[in-house]
Structures are given as structure tokens and as C-alpha cells.
Amino acid sequence: MNPQPLVPDTDPHRLAAAIGGHHLIAGQLVRAASGKTFAVVNPATGREVANAALGDNDDIHRAVSAAARAQIAWAAMPARKRGALVSDCARLLAEHVEELGRLVALETGKALRTESRVEAGVVADALQFYGGLASELKGESVPFNPEMLTVTQREPIGVVGVIIPWNAPMMLMALKIAPALVAGNTVVVKSAEEAPLAVLRVCQILNQKLPAGVLNIVSGFGPECGAPLVAHPQVGKVTFTGSVETGRIVARMAGEKLIPVTLELGGKSPMIVMGDADIDKAVNGAVAGMRFTRQGQSCTAASRILVHDAVHDAFVTALKARVDAMTMGDPLDEATDIGTLISRTQLAKVLDYIESGRAMPGAKALECSALPAQDHLRQGLFVRPVIFTGLDNGCRLAREEIFGPVTCVIRFRSYDEAIAMANDSAYGLAATIWTRDLKTALDATRRLQAGFVQVNQNIVVQPGLSYGGIKQSGLGREASLEAMLEHFTHKKTVIFNMN
């Protein structure tokens, strides 16, 4: 445990410079074995803010070895003691919310007030939630034979590899590391190359409370640093959030080793607005669900909004007005609602979707809000949100995950048609229906093919509620007690024959 207390630093540039260029292995900030680094760029200005350590196979091996060494003692600790340590971590993290919010805003371009500070708060909440669940790691007694004692027990898997994306890096990491740690596993995280700093800081803070080696983090690129983590013989489980394409690669490698994987992949989540819906509430739900404040960079983004013919035009007008009223600007400015996209690659991809949508016959692209005018943001990766109307559910924009501020409002005439369109997707992550009619709502919750279905609201993943997809959206569930038990432990059956 680190004896020197970490003082929160709310100057994200200074903090980035101080911690950049390191992995965290066996309780220590260390440089890459190769000595190499890569640049971390502020997407709002295009300027480099710090370096990150460029991890490879050697660093992964060092981190996994440290985790494997620490695992025996960690697993031998009473579960409630592990839980208490994770709860201590949550309390300590709560003191760093402001600094973490500012740091993640700097590296991702997500607005501080609407997104980044909120994300930092959720991290502490997720740790708190799992810290309290330690005593639920219990088994059963089984009536196998009255002359024997037969029990099951939950045991940790060992070393868990955690691979995360950049869109909500701290939150997605917390939802994986907290249950893994409480269950008695030790962890090696591979951060996303676009956002390595805030998650490193979170791990540094948690290492104030956790024994050395229990939680390690390595930064680097996918094939050079993520793949060796999945392939490492001492890694017994991988939990991944990212694209379908990379998810398949990870699952294939895990399949070769026959280790379990949890995959949280993409989505093309439908939102059905019936003719009797409360339009104001549905519009607010569309803004929240589409994550316009995060430039739509969310796997649950309500990126297909299916609206009944009778209310379609009124809905579109109201939605445009709401998004128009949002302020795009410097992510660190409290007045900003919407920040930037993450990278030039994503920008090119999103602009290509917008161009191809415009070229579709009958399509109309409503551009919303206004680009920021300040000089220092000239190179920023800002994109005006776009609401498309007149597109068909079968077109590319309605089928593929855009991961940008682009939503398609699609007209329907009957409820059955809406359900059919909603389910006509390769994905099945989330879905919502907006109606005042209880019977329709209940029927829809049964028919919608998704892992997370809501009626008349569109809230994000919550600690305590199982979250995850069906179809191409992934394997396994996160955020709940069940997620900890099913995905981070093995169930062992033990029989005592005392004859």
C-alpha cells in the first residue's frame, strides 16, 4: 500500500503531465520496458497534452505476473475484508471526482458538466455497490446424499484481463474491476489508446488502498498490447467492451485458450414513439437516450427513433428545437453541453455516414446547434448533431453503429410495423417504447429483442441492474450481483464422504 496520500489536482494539464508515460504495475508507476511512449491529444484543441507508455508483450507479462503473485493472498482474504477495501476505494475516489472529471474531459473531449464529472461520480458509485456485495459470494448445501455433506462454493477465476474503450473509460472499467476484485480475482487492465490517463489515475488512487499487484493497468494499442493480454497463459478470463469486430477477435483468442469472455459490443438501439406518447417526455428521452451530450458516442445510443405517423412531424420539430438549444464548446467550460468527438478517425467515419445519408433519395438532414467560434477550438473535432428524416430502416445509417451525433427518425404507421422494424437489426442492446397505453407497453417489453428495455424513460446503466446485449451486442451481463457471481467466479462442487 502506498503510504504517501495523493493530493487531488484539478489542473488536468499538470496532472496529465505528471502521470503520463506510465503503466501501473505491482503498485508502482513504471515506464514501458521498451521506453517507448505515444501522444495523448486533446480533441478539443488538437494539442498534445501528455504521453502514455506504449505497452507491449513485455509490459503485459510483467503486469500479469504481478497480478498472479498477488492473487493467492487476495483470494485468501475474507470476502468482507476485500469488500471493505473496495468500499474504502469508493470513498477515496469520491474525493477525486472533480480532478478525474477534468482529466477525462481533457483527453476525450466530453463536456465536464454534462458528461465527464458525472462519469467520475458513477465510478465511485459502482465501487461502493460492489464493495457491499462481498458476503453474497456464497454457495449452497445440496441434498445429494444424507450420509455425505455436499456443498457448492464460489471461487475466483484468478487473473482477469480487462479491455476497455474510450467513450466512458472510467465507468466501463469500474463496472469490470469492482466485481472482479470483490470476487477475489486480481486484474490487469489494458486501457484504450485514445483515453489512457483518467483510468490510470483511477488505478493509482485505488492502489492507495489495495495491496500491490491486485490492480494493474497497462496502456498501448490493441494488437500489440491488448492481444497479448488475452493470449497470456496466466489470464483466466477476459472482459471486453468495444467494437463487434474486435470483440470477435478477442472471443476467438479466448476460444483458443478455452477461457470465458464477457463482451459488451455495439448497438443500434430503437426508441418507439407511439401516437399517444407524451411528446415532451419522449423528446427529452431522445436527447438523453441519443447521448447528444456525448456526441452520440455510446453503445446504447437511441440511434433509431421510430415515430408514429400522427406525431412524426411534431416530434421532429420539437427534437430539433431541443438539440438546437444545446451549446457546443470547450469541454472544460461549465456552459458547454456538447464537446467533441474522440479522434480524427472517428470524425472521418461520422462525416462519411452523414454524407452517405444526405445522398439517399428522400432523406433530409437537419443539422442542429452551432459550432463553437472560439479561436483555440479551431482544430477541435466538433460535429454538429444531425437528425435524419426520410430514411428507410434498411439503409446503412439505420443498420450500422455510427458512434457519432447522428440519429435517424423513421416514420411508422402501425404498432406491429414498429416492432418489426425495431427487431430488424443485427444488434440487441437496448430499446425503449413511449406510450400511455399499458397494454401496448407490456406487449412491447415482451416482443422487443434487447437486453435492456424501458418504458417511457431512457436512463443509462445503473449499478444493481443487469446490463448487456443479445444478438451481435455481446455475451454476458454487467453491473449486477449476478454479473459478479456468474462472470467472475467458478462454482465448485465439494462432497465430503465421511463413511
Known catalytic residues? 264, 299
Of all residues in the shown chain, the one whose CB is closest to ligand ADP is 222
Identified binder of ligand ADP from the candidate list 114, 246, 269, 425, rule CB under 6 A: 246
The residue (of 166 and 412) whose beta carbon lies closer to ligand ADP is: 166
223 versus 464: smaller Cβ distance to ligand ADP: 223
163 sits near ligand ADP (criterion: CB under 6 A): yes
CB atoms < 10 A from the CB of 58, how many? Answer: 12
Of 159-167, 278-286, 371-379, 482-490: span binding ligand ADP (CB under 6 A): 159-167
**Is 250 an interacting residue with respect to ligand ADP (CB under 6 A)?**
yes
Give the residue with the Cβ less far from ligand ADP, 226 or 296: 226
Residue 243 makes contact with ligand ADP by CB under 6 A: yes
Asked if 192 is part of the footprint of ligand ADP (rule: CB under 6 A), the reply reads: yes
162 near ligand ADP, rule: CB under 6 A: no
Binding mask 203-242 for ligand ADP (x = CB under 6 A): ------------------xxx--xx--x-----------x
The alpha carbon of 403 is separated from its chain's Cα centroid by a whole number of angstroms, namely 13
HSE value, Cβ hemisphere, 13 Å, CA-based, for 212? 10
State which of residues 193, 264, 330, 401 lies at the interface with ligand ADP (CB under 6 A).
193
**Which residue number, 199 or 410, has a Cβ lying nearer to ligand ADP?**
199
Strand ranges across the sheet with 452-455: 364-367, 386-389, 406-412, 304-308, 270-273, 430-434, 452-455
Q: Where do runs of H (alpha helix) occur along 258-400?
A: 279-289, 309-324, 344-358, 396-399
- Are 115 and 167 a contacting pair, CB within 8 Å? no
Q: Which of 100, 111, 110 is nearest to 197 (CA)?
A: 100
Torsion, Cα 376 379 384 386, to 10 degrees, reads -170
Region from 160-168, 375-383, 393-401, 413-421 binding ligand ADP, contact rule CB under 6 A? 160-168
At its nearest, how many Å lie between ligand ADP and the CB of residue 192?
A: 4
Cell numbers given for 450: 434487447
Q: What is the DSSP-derived secondary structure letter of residue 380?
A: S
Shortest Å, Cβ 176 to ligand ADP: 12
- All three cell numbers of 254, joined, read 479466448
Per CB under 6 A, contacts with ligand ADP among 378-437 are none
Binding mask 68-97 for ligand ADP (x = CB under 6 A): ------------------------------
Among 77, 142, 249, 481, binds ligand ADP (CB under 6 A): 249
HSE (CB half, 13 Å, CA atoms) of 176? 33
| Nearer CB in complex with ligand ADP: 164/235 | 164
Q: Please name which of 468, 458, 438, 357 lies closest in space to residue 405, comparing C-alpha atoms.
A: 357
114 burial level (CB within 10 Å; 0-12, 13-18, 19+)? buried
Smallest distance, ligand ADP to C-beta of residue 106, A = 18
Q: Answer whether 430's CB lies under 8 Å from 303's CB.
A: no
CB of 9 to ligand ADP, least distance (A): 25
For ligand ADP (CB under 6 A), the number of binding residues is: 17
Q: Closer CB to ligand ADP, residue 64 or residue 410? A: 64
Regarding 165 and contact with ligand ADP (CB under 6 A), the answer is yes
Min dist. Cβ of residue 199 to ligand ADP (A): 10
Nearer to ligand ADP among residue 164 and residue 461 (C-beta): 164
DSSP string, 262-291: EEE-----EEEE-TTS-HHHHHHHHHHHTT
Under the binding rule (CB under 6 A), the answer on residue 341 touching ligand ADP is no
**8 Å CB contact between 388 and 408:** yes
Q: How far apart are CA 243 and CA 198, in angstroms?
A: 21
Q: Which residues bind ligand ADP (CB under 6 A)?
A: 163-165, 190, 192-193, 221-223, 226-227, 230, 242-243, 246, 249-250
